Amino acid sequence: MRLDKFLSKATELSRSECKKILHRGEITVNDEVIKDGSVHIQADDEVLWAGEPLSVADGSRYILLYKPDGFECTLKAKEYPIVTELIAVPEVASLRIAGRLDVDTTGALLLSDDGAWLHRATSPKRHQPKRYEITLADPMTADEQAHAIKQVANGILLEGNSEKTRPAELSFIDETHATLILTEGKYHQVKRMMAYFGNKVIELHRASIGTITLDGLEMGECRFLTDDEIGQF
């Protein structure tokens, strides 16, 4: 790979900015100052910028992030910081999200730079179960809970949709806390489903995607998926 291309991939610098740092002698390859961006480097070469090592991604990455509240699942920051700011890997800007979460929703978020895998991970044909933990604004009586559980299991017709939701599994922990397992991902689906029963979701957390859980992660932390986890999609 050409050195100038390597620099643009390993940093967020433009090509012209890469030329400037090369010209200033800030780049070394195997302890030798290199100013020519056309020089080809090998995978085992040590490239430093002002003494700091640089690297680029080797193959595709598959990442699980424990998303905190207050982060957007977008490519560019708007009102809130973006989730990729929490991930320290080379070429983080190349990562894309499979199944976005709202700013105020926490939990499991998958990211990758493998386009085909991302397509499979978000395909409705996969029927991958996603488990959500819900906190409701208003308490629901035992009769209301039983009614909601039955309705959700049969599918409900949300406002603006022409087809019912897929059968899903709803269970209640107490009057204001529930879990919901979905195998689809319509727009704001969990919140809209609870609104169907006249209630409002005030806290929402995605606990798992398929067999992928957040075990061992603290909020804001991430890890690479295992081969078995990648193979789910």
C-alpha to C-alpha distance for 127 and 124, rounded to whole angstroms: 6
Rounded-to-integer distance, Cα 38 and Cα 161, Å: 55
Instruction: Specify the residue for token string 């996969």.
Output: 126
Mark whether 102 is an active-site residue.
Answer: yes
Ramachandran area for residue 59 (φ above 0: left; ψ -120 to 50: alpha; else beta): left
Quote the distance between the C-alpha of residue 100 and its chain's center: 6
CA angle at residue 231 from 225 to 233, to 5 degrees? Answer: 100
**CA separation, residue 148 to residues 141, 156, 167, 180, 193 (Å):** 11, 10, 12, 11, 9
Q: What is the DSSP letter of 109?
A: E
Active-site pick, 102, 113, 114, 228:
102
3-class secondary structure, 203: strand
Hey, which residues are catalytic here?
102
